[in-house]
Amino acid sequence: MKRKNRTFIVIAAFNEARKISSVIKDLHNYKYGNIIVVDDGSADRTAEAAGKAGAFVIRHPFNRGQGASLKTGIDYALDRGADFIVTFDADGQHHASEIRQLAEPVVSRTADVALGSRFLLESTQKNMPFVRKLFLKWGVFFLYLLYGIRVTDSQNGFRVLSRRAAEKIEIMQDRMSHAGEILDEIRKKRIRFVEVPVTITYSDYSLGRGENKNTLLASIKIAWRLVWNKFIH
């Protein structure tokens, strides 16, 4: 319980009024109380629903992107004294029951970052469309070519950071390319990391959200932003 009191859950949310309450309730069922929801300029009642469900809510006045929202939430968690920070999706794809297993390498100090991977076990890929799997695999190869870091899942938003790692990692990419940027920060700053199997459950709802609607277009945008940041910007 002491560890859970030092653990903060950071959720980036954009127009997630339909799902956010159930996500927070699931976290509460597993005794996670320090839940930060960053409402990224939603046009619906995401902030209201999250607040009523028991989360602390920070609001962006306009939509900036998932990377910017995670940075806002992580910075706030550090200010509140977090020792461990979990990044968690708002659409119900992640499972609160798996946080303890994911966090164990960080809590035991064998790693400073634990990255969730849906590809380490066949059973952790729930209802994954073939096209999505194809582009996720391409993303792993692309990031290896770009940054030289070897992972099995480059776009998984379920991760645990130690306080030390969270203070070192600088998130500058506002939108989905932040996932690759975090991996590059881990590489450049020689942060110890490990991948842990986690379950990603796909639903019609989660597959219809934001950049999930068009996997090819989203992949091209992410790749371009990473290349721009590394070679041009």
Q: What local confidence, expressed as pLDDT, does residue 143 receive?
A: 81
pLDDT bin (cut points 50, 70, 90) of residue 42 is very high
Tell me which residue has tokens 């582009």: 135
Residue 206 has pLDDT above 80, yes or no: no
211 has pLDDT over 80: no
As a whole number of Å, the end-to-end CA separation of the chain is: 44
Annotated domain spans of the chain: 2-232
The fourth-level CATH superfamily of domain 2-232 is: Spore Coat Polysaccharide Biosynthesis Protein SpsA; Chain A (3.90.550.10)
Higher-pLDDT residue of 217, 120: 120
- What span, in angstroms and rounded, lies between the C-alpha atoms of 107 and 109? 5
Measured distance CA(226)–CA(181) in Å, rounded? 7
Q: How confident is the model at residue 225 (pLDDT cuts 50, 70, 90)?
A: low
pLDDT digits (tens, 9 = 90+) for 1-20: 556 569 999 999 999 999 99
Quote the pLDDT of residue 2. 53
Contacts of 67 (CB under 8 A, 6+ apart): 171, 172, 173, 174, 175, 176, 177, 178, 181
pLDDT in the model for residue 162: 98
Please compute the mean of the pLDDT values over residues 46-73 and round it to a whole number.
97
> In whole angstroms, what is the distance from residue 104 CA to residue 84 CA?
11
172 pLDDT more than 60: yes
